[in-house]
Chain A
Amino acid sequence: MDASYLNSFHLDILKEIGNIGAGNAATALAKMLDKKVDMEVPQIKIMGFSEVSEVLGGAETPVAGILLGICGDISGYILFVLEENAAQKLVNILMGRNPAEEVEYDEITLSALKEIGNILTGSYLSALSTLTGLLIKPDVPDIAIDMAGAILSVPAIEFGRTTDTVLYIETEFIEGENRVIGDFFLVPDIDSYMKLINALGAAY
Chain B
Amino acid sequence: MTENVIKVGMADLKHTSHPGRLITLGLGSCVGIALYDTKTKMIGLAHIMLPWSYQAKNSSNKAKFADTGIRLLLDNMLESGANKNSIVAKLAGGAQMFSFSNVSDMIRVGERNVEATKKILQELNIPVIAEDTGGKHGRTIEFFSEDGRLMIKTIGYGVTYI
Q: Which residues of A are in contact with B by a Cβ distance under 8 Å?
A: 48-53, 58-60, 62, 65, 67, 69, 139-140, 142-154, 156-158, 160-164
Name A150's contact: one of B9, B11, B55, B95 (CB within 8 Å). B95
Instruction: Please tell me if the beta carbons of A150 and B138 are within 8 angstroms of each other in the complex.
Output: yes
Cα A156 to Cα B55 in complex, Å, equals 16
**Given A154-B97, A164-B58, A164-B64, residue A140 in contact with residue B102 (CB < 8 A):** yes
Name B99's contact: one of A65, A142, A149 (CB within 8 Å). A142
Q: List 11 A-B contacts (CB under 8 A).
A: A60-B153, A145-B155, A145-B156, A146-B28, A146-B137, A150-B95, A150-B137, A157-B106, A161-B56, A161-B57, A162-B57
Cα A49 to Cα B47 in complex, Å, equals 11
Enumerate chain A residues within 8 angstroms of B50, measured Cβ to Cβ. Answer: 157, 160-161
Query: B interface, how many residues as a size bin?
Result: 35 or more
Interface string of B131-144 (1 = CB under 8 A from A): 00000111110000
Instruction: Please tell me if the beta carbons of B28 and A151 are within 8 angstroms of each other in the complex.
Output: yes
**Given A49-B49, A146-B137, residue A157 in contact with residue B25 (CB < 8 A):** no
Instruction: Please tell me if the beta carbons of A150 and B139 are within 8 angstroms of each other in the complex.
Output: yes
Instruction: Please tell me if the beta carbons of B98 and A140 are within 8 angstroms of each other in the complex.
Output: no
CB distance from A191 to the nearest CB of B (A): 12
CB distance from A154 to the nearest CB of B (A): 5
